[in-house]
């Protein structure tokens, strides 16, 4: 009988699409619990399996290529906001600044702030705080000595 073979109902294709969605979500930072809920998997292990299958079947760009892709996306987003930001739209300015901050971090351009702490600066700050707290000269000296001892200077 011709009806003995089961027709292709698209199950394999739906699974592959779900696997790709799971991988995309994982690469975007989603937890396996989120991926489980998003694709209606029974367990987190099923979500992990979907990500693993997608990784095996599909090429994942090397890190540098992914960074270039993300930077290109940021550039497109920034270009879309630029006119509004330049015309004073506060929300567009905030979004443009956030995008710029992300680009700076991604490209490694952000440098940590450096503070040089010296004992004279620490002592002066301690004395100032002691005076602001209403301490007398003796207590001010005691506060300075306390800080010196506890900072092992």
Query: pLDDT (tens digit, 9 = 90+) per residue, 84-97?
Result: 999 999 999 999 99
Q: How far is CA 132 from CA 70, 117, 120, 127, 135, in A?
A: 50, 21, 18, 9, 8
109-140 pLDDT per residue, tens: 877 767 778 889 899 999 999 999 898 999 99
pLDDT for 70 equals 87
Q: Which one has a higher pLDDT value, 2 or 33?
A: 33
Burial of residue 40 (number of CB atoms within 10 Å: 0-12, 13-18, 19+): exposed
CB neighbourhood size of 13 (10 A): 10
Backbone dihedral angles phi then psi of residue 146, each to the nearest 5 degrees: -60, -45
pLDDT tier for residue 6 given thresholds of 50, 70 and 90: very low
pLDDT for 59 equals 67
pTM, entire model = 0.38
pLDDT for 37 equals 94
Q: CA end-to-end span of the chain, whole Å?
A: 93
Of 130, 139, 72, 128, give the one whose Cα is nearest residue 103.
Answer: 72
CA–CA separation, 32 and 19 (whole Å): 12
CA–CA separation, 139 and 92 (whole Å): 53
Question: What size, in residues, is the chain?
Answer: 153
């Amino acid at each position: 009988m011709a009806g003995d073979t089961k027709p292709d109902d698209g199950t394999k294709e739906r699974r592959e699409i779900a696997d790709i969605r799971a991988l995309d979500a994982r690469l975007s930072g989603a937890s396996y619990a989120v991926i489980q809920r998003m694709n209606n998997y029974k367990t987190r292990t099923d979500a992990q399996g979907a990500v693993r299958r997608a990784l095996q079947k599909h090429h994942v760009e090397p890190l540098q290529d992914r960074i270039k892709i993300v930077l290109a996306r940021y550039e497109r987003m920034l270009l879309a906001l630029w006119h509004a930001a330049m015309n004073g739209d506060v929300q567009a300015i905030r979004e443009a600044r956030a995008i710029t901050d992300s680009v700076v971090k991604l490209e490694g351009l952000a440098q940590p702030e450096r503070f040089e702490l010296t004992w004279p600066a620490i002592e002066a700050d301690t004395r100032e705080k002691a005076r602001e707290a209403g301490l007398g000269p003796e207590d001010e000296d005691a506060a300075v000595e306390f800080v010196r001892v506890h900072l092992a200077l």
